[in-house]
Structure 1
Amino acid sequence: MKCFVKYIGIIDNQDKVHYVPFYPGLNVITGKSSTGKSAILEIFDYCMGSSEDTIPVGVITDRSKIFFAALQFSSFILVIGRNAGTNRCFLREVPSSQADSLIALIESVRAFFDDRHYVPLADFIKGLGRYFGVTLENVDVNPFQKELTGKKSETPSIRSFPSFMLQHQNLVANKHAIFYRFDQKHKRDQAIDHFKILMGIVDESYFDLAKEHFDAKQELRRIQLQIPKQEMVKTNTLALFSNCLAEYLALAGAPLVELTPEEIWQKPKPALRKVMERSSRIDGLSTEFEKKRNELLDAKAALLIKLRAAQADLRLAKTSIDSASGFGLTMTSLPIPSASALEESTICPFCDSPAHAPENEANKLSDAIHWLNTELKLSSYARESFGEERRVIEKEIRDIERQLKEVQNALNPLEEEITRLKLSKNVDESAQRAKFRLEEAIKVRIEKPSSDLMDSEAYWKARVKALADEMAEFKVKSELNKLQDEINDKMREIGQNFDFEDAYKPVDLRFDLESFDLWHQKDKDTKVYLRSMGSGANWLYSHLTLFMSLHYQFAARSGDGCKIPPILFLDQPTQVYFPAALDAGKTFVPEKLAVQANRQDKLEHDIEAVTNMFNRIANFCTDTFQQTGIMPQMIVCDHADNLELEEGLEFSDFVRATWRTRGFIAEVEQV
């Protein structure tokens, strides 16, 4: 995104305009403590739609009524503002042709900050987001997200930008935190999740595909869950068809129709016509009835034998478990001596010769105790073994009982038929009843046809794959890996120029885009995370190295859909060498600060390190412009001043404001 900050300013209660101009590249605001340097970051954040007003309480908040910032785009200037202590936000576009007269326009406060350009905070954030191409309304892949949680997932907005643009005084050299407001877990997770969107790797069409892909997977899953149920219905229906046909054959002595149960299932309507058209014919000479009945009786007898054997095995298993448990309890209840005192030798009272009988008995007792302990252990193993055997037998019994029930159900109509024949002598009635039951079963099949789930499953599998292939064209994973590699390569390049401790040289900082963790890769197997690196200078340079590398990517990818402008605010980066709280003089005197910080023996090194830092930042901006065509904007608020930079660089050329005799706005209005 080609954009830079042109002005940051304040309208005080007397409608006087206080502002600081900025340009692409390095910008420095220098001054002593408590002059409003840190307020620059907070004013910018507040104007960018922060939900919190974190502008330091003091002269600025007491005397200000409007805060504003001017953002320079390629063909226009966007002035954003916000009234003090409110959610009334200002958004006005000004043509670039009026850039030179912008401050004059703003000084006509009532005319410029007209009520027509004010909008509520939520609308302001959306409106500002459009200028940066952040327009996604919904990134929920799961269409039930709102129903489940009561709200949509957070969408990317310009409120994602400050994490990458602001390095506050308490953050720029922090060993525990790297990004602004990442102490709030949901903001951290959102920033990580939204990063691929803000970098232009994915867009709204990707999320449309992702939603379709989710829906297709859900439909496929629904069908796959139905398939086993449908298979069970089919199995049960085929069994019913088979029983009715077999019963009719046994009762009538001839088959009802020349159709198999599978053929009836596949074409139920033609099958029903054939069954209904077929009249019942009883073959009195047929032996099918007795044959079928005897088969069922034999099957029942065989199953009963198996059942009785399994029940006997179950009784044995339960008895074995009880025996093993009882043995363990009996053995543990026996009194066992804990010790026995034996004399070194025992003399026989008859012959006065040494006797070893007590010692031998003691050895036998020791062996018995070892045996007992072994048996007690084995009893627990035996219980486990018998327990598994019992479960297997119980399952076998359940299976046999199920088979017995099926055989008995098939046998019941034949036994009932014998009773009916003895009473009514009517053979046709039973066969007609079997035929009628088959007709009813076929009608149920027709009335409740099973859907062709196999075809549906094949369709949705193909649909899921097709959508996944379309999503794969975005190459999200490979693009993120590529971006991560480029960030890490740039960090290695930038880090070599900073004054890291020798223990971390050569510098090999790594950044993980999945977790946003930062570490130094000491060797192949050792990661040294920021919190373990030690020394404020190492923490500072790690932050600078990472953020300069990120902003290089923001510049390099600005033409490829990157939404984040390469604008970085650094607040008091030199504090690790010259603590800002100690600087209250009218000029920057590092010698005095070194004495106050008890670092006078390191003064020369500290000045060199601070000078080198500004050299690296200035050169980074120039090099990035040469390589990408975009000049990053680095706004440094610090108390360092009058540094002697390398040849070709003048520190004063980068200074946009010096606040030592007064601050951003004067404490007392001059008359």
Structure 2
Amino acid sequence: MNCYVSYIGVVDKDKELHYVRLTPGLNIITGRSSTGKSAILEIFDYCLGSSEDTIPDGKLTDRGEMFFTVLQFPELTLVTGRVAASKRCFLREAIGSDAENIVETVKHVDYFFEDRYYIHRDQYLKSLGRYFGVTLENIDVDPMYQEVTGKKSATPSVRSFPSLMLQHQNLVANKHAIFYRFDEKVKRDQAIDHFKILMGIVGEEYFDIAKELTEANYELRRIKLKISKDDKHKETTIAKFEKLLAEYQALAGKPLFDKTGEEIYIKPKVALRLLQDAPVSVDGLADDYEVTLKTLREKKAKLVLELRSALGRSDLLERSVQQAKGIGANFASLPVPRSTDLDHTFCPVCESHSDIPEDQANKLTEAIDWLNGQLKLSSYARESLGQESRDLKDEIKGVRLQIREVQGALKPFEEQEARRAEANALEDAPKKTKMRLEIEIEKFLEDLPSDSKDMEAFWEKKVAELKALLGSYDVEDELDRLARDINKKMKELGKSFPFEATYRTGSLKFDLNSFDLWHEKDAFKKVFLRSMGSGANWLYSHLTLFMALHYQFAARANDCKIPPILFLDQPTQVYFPSDDHGDEFEPENLHSDDDKGLDWHDDLDAVANMFTQLAKFCDQTERETGVMPQIIVCDHADKLKLGDGYDYNDFVRARWRKRGLVAD
């Protein structure tokens, strides 16, 4: 995104404008403390839709009525503004002569800041985002996310920019933090997740495909689960048909018709028609009835014996567990003698000394210790008995289930036995079985399984196509390539800053997956900022990283949503930390109390080099990418002698020694 800030200002309560003009490249706002230098960052952030008003209390907030920022795009001038301590925001394009003389146009406050251009902050963020190409409304790749959570995932907006554009006074040389607002984990995670979107690596089409892929995977899993259930249902249904066919044959002495259970399942309508036409007749000479009845009764008897055996073992096991608990508790609590007084270690006859009693006492103590140790193992025994008990319960449950099934199979035969003396009883049971089979087939016809195999093939093909389409974006490869470019640029830029000798070999590395920054001397050791000594090292690490990032913003300006605009607030505080209240910048007076009296010329040279490198970076980036980044430095350093032919005064946009942003 090729864009820069051309003006930042405030409209006071008397409708007067107070502003600072800015250009592409390096911009320096210098001055003493408490003149509003740091407020420049806060005004920009506030006009970018910040949820908080962090503009410092004082003259600005006392007199300021409206804050504004003018953004210059290649073919468009955009004025953004916001009423003090309010969510009422202003957004207006300037065209023609109004754009060419934007300050003169804005000075007509009542005319320019018309009510119709004011909108609420929520709508303002969406409208402003459109100018930067940040228009995604939904990045959820799982359609169930919103249904489960009741809301959509946070989408990228212009509020994603400040973390990559603002280096506040308390952040620019911080060893514990690198990015603005990353102290909140949610915002940190969102910024990392949104980075690939803001860099233009993925767009709306990517998320549409990802969402479609998630839905296709859901459908495929649903079909596979249904196939699994259908297979189980098929097995159960065929078994039910086979059981009724076997029951009929046992009762009638011959098959009902020449169809198996699986054939009925495959062609239920044909089977039902044949079944309805098949007459019921009993073969009195067949012995199927007696054989089946005998088999079922023997099976039932065997299962009853198994059940009784299992119940007996379960009862015995339960008593064993209770006994183990009691014995272990009683014996483990017995005291063990640790010493004894053996007065009779001398023979009463010859008065000679004997060790036998003492040896026996020691052996007894050892035996008691061994016994108690073994008894303590009862807890392990109880655990194994407990598992055995659970296995027995499962066994008993399974046997009872089998008995129930056998009893169900015996029921029609027992009913037939009870009705043998009745007229026509011989054919009643087969007729009843035939009717039950007809009912089962009709029920099956009412809920026929769908052709899930074809659907499975369809969704498998769909998933494969979407995966291939999603893979064509090469997101991981693009992120790896971007990370390599950033790290390569950091290595190049780092050579221009006077890091301590320890960190002059190796290079800084940045991880796009975690946004961690470290110095890597070799492949096996990472030195993070918190472990690097010296504020200068922390400062140069921040500068090197952000310059490398903004180089990529410029190099990828056609796709990247983030404009290469970088604010640096008080970067020289590492060298001159004291407040500056003089009419002139006097570096010798701005050292900390501990450093007073030390030579300050080396520090001044380091500061001058820093500004030289910032100016050189802007020029080199424009030559290599065609886009000039904008770096806005707010600092009290002044009148520096820069190198490489640069003149410090060429970059000064405001010098606030006698006054501040808001004039008296």
Alignment TM-score, normalising by the size of structure 2 = 0.95
> Structure 1: which amino acid aligns with 2:399?
I
Letter in 1 for 2:663: A
Asked if 1:588 corresponds to 2:588, the answer is no
In structure 2, what is the Cα distance between the partners aligned to 1:597 and 1:558? 46
Q: 2:567 aligns with which of 550, 566, 569?
A: 569
SS of alignment partner, residue 101 of structure 2 = helix
Hey, what's the Cα distance between the residues in 1 that align with 2:110 and 2:539?
43
**In structure 1, C-alpha distance between the alignment counterparts of 2:459 and 2:596, rounded to whole Å:** 71
Does 2:478 correspond to 1:482?
Answer: no
Contact 1:67 1:81 in 2 (8 A): yes
1:284 aligns to 2:284 (yes or no): yes
Residue segments in structure 2 that go unaligned for 5+ positions in a row: none
Tell me: CA distance 1:105–1:335, structure 2 relative to 1, closer, same or farther (3 Å). closer
Q: Equivalents in 2 of 1:357, 1:87: separation in Å?
A: 98
Q: Normalising to structure 1: TM-score of the pair?
A: 0.94
Shift of 1:232: 3.6
1:32-68 alpha-carbon deviations (Å, 9 max, x no partner): 0011111111111122222222222222222233322
Q: Do 1:578 and 1:597's aligned partners in 2 also have CA atoms closer than 8 Å?
A: no
Are the counterparts in 2 of residues 511 and 517 from structure 1 also a CA contact under 8 Å?
yes
CA contact (8 A) 2:125 2:158 kept: yes
Alignment-derived partner of residue 313 in structure 1:
313
* Partner Cα distance (1:534, 1:599) in 2: 21
Do 2:213 and 2:466's aligned partners in 1 also have CA atoms closer than 8 Å? yes
> Residues of 1 paired with 2:336 and 2:595: CA distance?
75
User: CA contact under 8 A between 1:496 and 1:506: conserved in structure 2?
Assistant: no
- Residues 1:184 and 1:604: Cα distance change in structure 2 (over 3 Å): same
Q: For residues 341 and 513 of structure 1, do their structure 2 counterparts lie closer, same or farther at Cα, with a shift above 3 Å needed? A: farther
Whether 1:114 aligns to 2:114 is yes
C-alpha separation in 2, matches of 1:426 and 1:304: 30
Could you list the runs of 5+ residues in structure 1 that have no partner in the other structure?
A: none
- Per-residue CA deviations over 1:401-449 (Å, capped at 9, x if unaligned) read 2222211211121121111113445211111101000000000000111
Alignment partners' CA distance in 1, 2:307 and 2:192: 64
1:626 equivalent in structure 2: 623
Deviations 1:263-288 (A, max 9, x none): 11111111100110101011111111
C-alpha displacement at 1:177, in angstroms? 2.1
Deviations 1:71-112 (A, max 9, x none): 121122212222333333222223477654222222233333
Partner of 1:552: 551
Equivalent residue of 1:133, what SS? coil
Count of residue pairs the alignment pairs up: 664
Task: Describe how 1:238-387 pairs up with structure 2 within 5 A.
Answer: 238-342=238-342, 346-387=345-386
1:202 partnered with 2:202: yes
* Secondary structure at 2:420 match in 1: helix
1:291 maps to amino acid: V
1:335–1:660 distance in 2 versus 1, CA, 3 Å: closer
In structure 2, the partner of 1:664 is 661
Residues in 1 aligned to 2:368 and 2:97: alpha-carbon distance in whole angstroms: 103
- Kindly, what percent of the aligned residue pairs are identical? 55
Q: Structure 2 matches for 1:140-289, cutoff 5 A?
A: 140-289=140-289
In structure 2, relative to structure 1, the CA distance for the partners of 1:597 and 1:355 (3 Å cut) is closer
Letter in structure 2 aligned against 1:491? M
Give the superposition deviation at 1:326. Answer: 3.5
Corresponding residue to 1:578 among 576, 579, 597: 576
- The structure-2 alpha-carbon separation of the partners of 1:425 and 1:122, relative to structure 1 and needing over 3 Å to count, comes to closer
The Cα shift of 1:523 comes to 4.0
- Range with bigger deviation, 581-590 or 65-74: 65-74
State the Cα deviation string for residues 449-496 of structure 1 (Å, max 9, x = none).
Answer: 122333333332332332222212112222222222222222222223
- CA separation in 1, counterparts of 2:190 and 2:442? 57
SS in structure 1 at match of 2:280: coil
Tell me, what secondary structure is at the counterpart of 1:37?
Answer: coil
Q: RMSD across aligned C-alpha pairs, in angstroms?
A: 2.2
**Could you tell me how far 1:516 is from its partner in structure 2?**
1.9
Match of 1:497 in 2: 496
Q: 1:195: how far off?
A: 1.0
Alignment deviations for residues 367-403 of structure 1 (CA, whole Å, 9 cap, x no partner): 3023213422443333233322222232222222222
Contact (CA 8 Å) 2:338, 2:365: kept in 1 or not?
no
Q: Is the 8 A contact 1:76 1:96 kept in 2?
A: no
Are the aligned partners of 2:3 and 2:563 in contact in 1 as well (CA < 8 Å)? yes
Aligned counterpart, 2:454: 455
Q: Residue in 1 aligned with 2:632? A: 635
- Deviations along 1:295-331, whole A, 9 cap, x unmatched? 2122223323333333343344334434433332342
Amino acid in the other structure paired with 1:101: N
The structure-2 alpha-carbon separation of the partners of 1:370 and 1:112, relative to structure 1 and needing over 3 Å to count, comes to same
Partners of 2:366 and 2:147 in 1: CA distance: 72
> How far off its partner does 1:518 sit?
2.1
Q: 1:224 to 1:340 in 2, by over 3 A?
A: farther
| Residue 636 of structure 1, CA deviation | 0.3
- Tell me: CA distance 1:459–1:41, structure 2 relative to 1, closer, same or farther (3 Å): same
Partner of 1:129: 129
Q: Does the CA-based 8 Å contact 1:197-1:203 persist in structure 2?
A: yes
Give the deviation of 1:235 after TM superposition. Answer: 2.9
Whether contact under 8 Å (1:163, 1:179) holds in the other structure is yes
Q: Distance in 1 between matches of 2:379 and 2:150?
A: 54
What SS does the aligned partner of 1:140 have? coil
**Large movers: runs of 4+ above 4 Å:** 96-100
Q: 1:13 to 1:315 in 2, by over 3 A?
A: closer
Cα distance change on mapping 1:388 and 1:144 into 2, 3 Å: closer
Asked whether the equivalents of residues 416 and 425 of structure 2 are also in contact (C-alpha less than 8 Å), the reply is no
Structure-2 residue corresponding to 1:464: 463
